[in-house]
């Protein structure tokens, strides 16, 4: 199980990637899983226990997301 | 840029693979750097274009419709003058505020030219012919009071003169990468204040909302269709990084000192006319950037340029500098001027070398005139 964050644009994905890297929070950038409908083709994948921290970071950094979703690690 | 082509050769944001993501990071970093430099509150409000001309066209055509009115100045480059003249032929009202030979715009004259249907004021931040810096803060205030959008052409100032779009109240700011931002040609962009909506010049693939055949309505994607020049943007990001590190104020201070030396030195040469606000009539109250125009009595600008290049290794631009309006304003149309440009890498030795060269040419011209 992982949390997948999806975005309206690549810029927003890059912004969250940047914030997470700065904060030293482990994450991956991956193609958006088919099961999720999202505007931008890149998603951020996280361990579920990081979700609250990342939500707060995203909000504080003004990142626009199209949601946090829980799926199997392969995005199914 | 080389590293970028080797290690980030994917299309930014179009795919989730490593190279595509690296390319998207490059674009993001460049956007953040530019936003920081110009005081944009949010980097998504910075859209990239191929140059300042494209950015100016995007802003002008994105705002104006037939029936609207636009105000500009007699110091504009053709990148503003031509799109506006074209739109005038399509039913847009155009007022051109005439300046004196110093090239400084009177903000009161801009305010007085406003009409109920005025939608936009478009003006340069600094003249590309004589370097005069315009009172953009005052004009911005007049625009804000009347609900008119304000577009600034920062081609000559971004990177070498302080700009804070948020503090100044600038709605739209066009910049080029290849001058004082120390980036490569083929890069530029437009800052768009949040809340200002432009009609895109182009529509197409953005890597977002791919299931829809309608253009996204959010920035930067709305105004950035097609594969971006991310290799160029890698260079732009690096260049802006150097500017941020050096500090615009410090860069400005250095260039201002060199420009003053250059102007004073040229004015002291018998037979040389220097244009711009630095002449005795206007004193030293008007700020200028490091763009200096002059003429040598009895020698055509093209000949001066040729001799400077071939005999002294000084490369400059001669003629009308794509700005016929400005040359009419300063009284050098159609002859034009010889224009010397200072930059980040210019030194006091460069200035001394040019002054020596022009001094020798002036002495030669005087001998020729006596014969």
pLDDT at residue B284 tops 60 = no
pLDDT at residue A59 tops 60 = yes
Which residues of chain B neighbour A40 with C-beta distances below 8 Å?
13, 207-208
Rounded to 5 degrees, φ, ψ at B101 are -65, -15
Asked if B251 and B216 touch (Cβ cutoff 8 Å), the reply is: no
When divided into structural domains, chain A yields a total of 1
pLDDT tens-place string over residues B165-209: 999 999 999 999 999 999 999 999 999 999 999 999 999 999 888
Rounded to 5 degrees, φ, ψ at B125 are -80, -35
Closest C-alpha among A32, A35, A34 to residue A9: A32
pLDDT band for B162, please (50, 70, 90 cuts). Answer: very high
- Among A23-37, B100-114, B126-140, the minimum mean pLDDT is found in A23-37
Annotate A28-48 with DSSP letters as a single string. Answer: EEEEPPTTS--SBSEEEEE-G
Contact A32 B16 (CB under 8 A): yes
Between these two residues, B351 and B1, which has the higher pLDDT value? B351
Asked if B310 and B59 touch (Cβ cutoff 8 Å), the reply is: no
Contact A41 B16 (CB under 8 A): yes
Q: How far apart are CA B321 and CA B308, in angstroms?
A: 17
pLDDT at residue B352 tops 80 = yes
pLDDT of res. B20: 86
A11 touches chain B (CB under 8 A): yes
pLDDT of res. B280: 46
| Helices A10-23, A51-60: crossing angle, 10 deg rounding | 110
Domain boundaries, chain B: 2-246, 248-370
pLDDT of res. B339: 97
Q: How far apart are CA B288 and CA B273, in angstroms?
A: 17
CATH architecture for residues B2-246: 3-Layer(aba) Sandwich (3.40)
pLDDT at residue B9 tops 90 = no
pLDDT band for B93, please (50, 70, 90 cuts). Answer: very high
- Residues B5-18 have a mean pLDDT of 76
In a domain, A40, yes or no: no
Q: Mean pLDDT score of chain B, rounded to an integer?
A: 94
pLDDT of res. B198: 98
Phi-psi region at A26: left, alpha or beta (left = phi > 0; alpha = psi -120 to 50): beta
- Residues A4-9 have a mean pLDDT of 94
- Residues B329-343 have a mean pLDDT of 96
Of A8, A10, A43, the CB nearest to B24: A10
In a domain, A66, yes or no: yes
- Residues B50-63 have a mean pLDDT of 98
CA B255 to chain centre: 16
Fold of B248-370: 3.90.1150
In a domain, A37, yes or no: no
Q: How far apart are CA B279 and CA B273, in angstroms?
A: 9
Tokens of A74: 């392969």
Of A14, A30, A40, the CB nearest to B208: A40
Residues of chain B with pLDDT > 70, as a percent, come to: 97
Which residues of chain B neighbour A74 with C-beta distances below 8 Å?
none
B44 touches chain A (CB under 8 A): yes
In a domain, A58, yes or no: yes
Nearest CA in chain A to B13: A10
- Residues B132-154 have a mean pLDDT of 97
Q: How far apart are CA B95 and CA B122, in angstroms?
A: 10
pLDDT of res. A38: 65
pLDDT of res. B97: 98
Rounded to 5 degrees, φ, ψ at B219 are -90, 155
Active site residues of B: 322
B86 touches chain A (CB under 8 A): no
pLDDT at residue B6 tops 90 = no
Domain boundaries, position A52:
2-32+46-71
pLDDT band for A73, please (50, 70, 90 cuts). Answer: low
pLDDT at residue B285 tops 80 = no
């Amino acid at each position: 199980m992982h949390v997948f964050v999806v975005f309206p644009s690549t810029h927003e994905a890059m912004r969250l990637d940047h914030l997470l890297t700065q904060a030293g929070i482990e994450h991956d950038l991956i193609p958006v899983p088919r099961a999720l409908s999202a505007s931008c083709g890149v998603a951020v994948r996280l361990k579920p226990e990081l979700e609250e921290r990342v939500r707060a970071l995203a909000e504080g950094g003004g990142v626009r997301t199209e949601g946090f979703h829980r799926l199997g690690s392969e995005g199914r | 840029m080389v590293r970028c082509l080797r290690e980030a050769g994917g299309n930014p944001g179009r795919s989730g693979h490593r190279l595509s993501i690296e390319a998207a990071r490059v674009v993001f970093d460049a956007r953040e750097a530019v936003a920081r430099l110009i005081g944009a509150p949010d980097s998504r409000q910075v859209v990239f274009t191929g140059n300042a001309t494209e950015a100016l066209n995007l802003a002008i055509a994105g705002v104006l419709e037939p029936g609207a009115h636009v105000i500009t100045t007699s110091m504009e480059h053709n990148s503003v003058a031509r799109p506006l003249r074209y739109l005038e032929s399509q039913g847009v009202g155009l007022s051109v505020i005439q300046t004196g030979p110093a090239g400084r715009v009177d903000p009161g004259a801009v305010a007085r030219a406003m009409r109920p249907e005025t939608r936009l004021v478009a003006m340069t931040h600094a003249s590309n012919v004589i370097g005069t810096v315009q009172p953009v803060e005052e004009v911005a205030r007049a625009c804000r009071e009347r609900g008119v959008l304000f577009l600034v052409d920062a081609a000559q100032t971004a990177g070498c003169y302080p700009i804070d779009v948020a503090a100044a109240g600038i709605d739209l700011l066009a910049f080029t990468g290849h001058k004082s931002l120390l980036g490569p040609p083929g890069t530029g962009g437009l800052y768009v204040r949040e809340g200002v909506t432009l009609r895109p010049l182009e529509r197409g693939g953005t890597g977002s909302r791919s299931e829809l055949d309608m253009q996204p309505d959010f920035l930067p994607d709305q105004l950035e269709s097609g594969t971006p020049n991310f290799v160029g943007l890698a260079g732009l990001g690096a260049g802006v990084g150097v500017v941020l590190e050096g500090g615009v104020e410090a860069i400005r201070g250095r260039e201002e000192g060199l420009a003053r030396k250059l102007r004073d030195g040229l004015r002291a040469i018998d037979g040389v006319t220097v244009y711009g606000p630095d002449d005795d009539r206007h004193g030293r109250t008007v700020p200028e950037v490091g763009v200096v125009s002059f003429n040598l009595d009895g020698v055509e600008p093209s000949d001066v340029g040729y001799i400077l290049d071939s005999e002294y290794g000084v490369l400059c631009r001669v003629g009308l500098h794509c700005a016929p309006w400005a040359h009419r304003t300063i009284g050098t149309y159609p002859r034009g001027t010889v224009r010397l440009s200072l930059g980040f890498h210019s030194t006091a030795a460069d200035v001394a070398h040019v002054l020596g060269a022009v001094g020798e040419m002036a002495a030669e011209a005087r001998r020729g005139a006596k014969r």
